[in-house]
Amino acid sequence: MNYLAHAYLSFDSPTVLVGNMISDFVKGKKKYEFDEAIQNGIMLHRSIDDFTDNHETTKEAKQVFKSTVGLYAGAFTDVAYDHFLANDPNEFTEASLKTFAQRTYATLSNYRHVFPPRFAGMFPYMQQHDWLYNYRTNWGIERSFEGLVRRATYLHDSPGAFDAFTANYSTLRDCYEQFFPALKKFVEGIFATFKL
């Protein structure tokens, strides 16, 4: 899952949210430099990623992107899943997504002092361009795919990935609908063990 899902699956806990959002920028033992509550978010992020990567439905979804982006298929699938979460009527309305996105940016802003440098550099763009809300649109997904290409070492173009997304939209939506309820239940189980 990508940023929207990690934010949403922090269940309105500010410290878990921070850890969940910065986790990819915290390597190895660096996580012990953070408060325990933020460490919970870092570990939750990694559990979400493991669950997602190993789920049979995700393996099916990755095949949509495999021929165009190869080993990066998982990253593109994560972005696609965020699109379907943003449009999932069981989780958001358009208005509630907008509110959720703004609340998330505001909460994260209170913790700028703990951001790893790379996340600190990226966060203003996330907020300015309203990434969390714009996952809702095909335009936002296309921009996200372009961002993945810019950051990837061995990719130089993304039209093929976006074309695969639009051509296989129903298949990817079906994968999301099979997968996300299981992920949410999994995260609720982990969350119940946290001392918040």
The residue extents of the domains of the chain are: 3-191
pTM, 2 dp: 0.94
How much is the pLDDT for 156?
67
125 C-beta neighbours (distance < 10 Å), count: 10
Nearest to residue 46, comparing CAs of 13, 15, 20, 77? 20
H or E element, residue 53: helix 36-54
Contact 121, 65 (CB under 8 A): no
How much is the pLDDT for 139?
93
47 C-beta neighbours (distance < 10 Å), count: 15
For tokens 């943003």, name the residue: 86
How much is the pLDDT for 152?
72
How much is the pLDDT for 50?
95
Give me the residues of the chain with pLDDT under 50, please: none
H or E element, residue 59: helix 56-69
How much is the pLDDT for 160?
85
Contact 3, 24 (CB under 8 A): no
How much is the pLDDT for 162?
92
Contact 17, 7 (CB under 8 A): yes
